[in-house]
Amino acid sequence: MMDDNKQLAQRIDGAIQSASQEVTNLRSELSATSRRLAELGANDSTGSGSGSEVEAAPGTARREVSTITMEDLLLGFL
State how far the Cα of 16 lies from the Cα of 23, in Å rounded to an integer.
Answer: 10
Q: CB-based contacts of 36: which residues, under 8 Å, 6+ apart?
A: 54, 55
- C-alpha separations of 49 from 8, 62, 66 in Å: 54, 16, 15
Count: domains in the chain = 1
Whole domain around residue 58: which residue ranges? 2-76
For the stretch 16-32, pLDDT in tens is 999 999 999 999 999 99
Residue 12 confidence (pLDDT):
95
Can you give the pLDDT at residue 43? 82
| Per-residue confidence (pLDDT) for residue 44, from 0 to 100 | 74
Which positions of the chain have pLDDT values less than 50?
51-52, 54, 63
| Among candidate residues 70, 71, 38, the one with its CA nearest the CA of residue 54 | 38
